Amino acid sequence: MPRDLHSEERTYTPDSELRHPLRLIRGMGSDLVAARELAWRLFVRDTAAQYRQSALGYFWVILPPLATSAIFILLNSANVLVSNNLGMSYPVYVLTGTVFFGLFSDGMAAPLKTVTASRPLLIKVRFPREALLLTAWAQTLLGFIIRIALLAVCLVLLRTHVAPTAPLAIIPAVGLMLFGIMVGVLMVPLGALYQDITLGLVLLTSALMLVTPVAFAPPSSGVLGTIMHYNPLSPLVLCARDLVVTGDTSNLPATLAIMGVCLVLFVIGWVLFRLAVPIIVERLGS
């Protein structure tokens, strides 16, 4: 018999949890609290396993933003990629953009990565599934802390003035992480069953970076300018960068609105995740 991580007795019925929303909400809350210890163990396990067989180890956390920034800076210096009216030096612009965009991309990949790593556990053991979501949050947060430390070092080396509003950048930073995890949670039901979703994440991340003001300012006209204008990631990245470097931003209201929408969609994704996990377990175990 599978080992049970819950001490209380539960009764399962054919009825969908959606028929009893209050019971569903109470269950989500209680499972979230009960999942804390297991989430920490999964976080430690997954973090150690991710870099155990790597020669560079945790350096891989900061290598992607450094490599991406270096490529864009090289293209800019060769006048292949020209971006004017940035309000700051180009290296600072692209470094801040890649660090904050990386928070979104890490958050988007974390839920599916956590579920994939825990497939044997899902099949054999009944435990609060919210532990997987908490693990995804923790992994994203760890990567962000390391990258923010990297950004701070780079700003010092580049002798960049940091605005007094820099601590407020935590607001759009949380928004980017919430946005990414929200998208990631919504992709879990299909991504846990089909590798196409995991493989497509790389293409999706690259495409989104090119239509987000990460390496160049939004054009004032044209198709790309229109896409960037309506891209919900644009205000979040611009707001975070402005609060760190210039101290003046007009994107804070849009940032707060997007965060509110992402929070609602995350809760919807969380509900879908709970409903989909039994189906996922059945498919993986067959």
Contact 219, 208 (CB under 8 A): no
Q: Which pLDDT score is estimated for 27?
A: 80
Mean of pLDDT over the chain: 82
| 122-146 mean pLDDT | 85
Q: Which pLDDT score is estimated for 280?
A: 79
Please spell the DSSP secondary structure of 225-252, one letter per residue. HHHHHH-THHHHHHHHHHHHHTS--S-H
The pTM score is 0.82
Q: Within a 13 Å sphere around the CA of 17, how many CA atoms are in the beta-carbon half?
A: 18
Q: pLDDT tens, 176-188? A: 999 999 999 888 8
Please spell the DSSP secondary structure of 71-117, one letter per residue. HHHHHHHTTSS-----SS-HHHHHHHHHHHHHHHHHHHHHHHHHHHH
| 84-103 mean pLDDT | 86
Is the predicted pLDDT of residue 190 greater than 70, yes or no?
Answer: yes
Of residues 4 and 67, the one with the higher pLDDT is 67
The residues that bridge with 126 in the sheet, in sequence order, are 4
Please spell the DSSP secondary structure of 155-182, one letter per residue. HHHTTPPPPTTGGGGHHHHHHHHHHHHH
Contact 132, 111 (CB under 8 A): yes
Q: Which pLDDT score is estimated for 18?
A: 64
Q: Which two tokens stand for residue 109?
A: 């990949």
Calculate what percentage of the chain has a pLDDT beyond 70: 85
Q: pLDDT tens, 197-241? A: 877 888 888 889 889 998 888 888 888 889 988 999 999 999 999
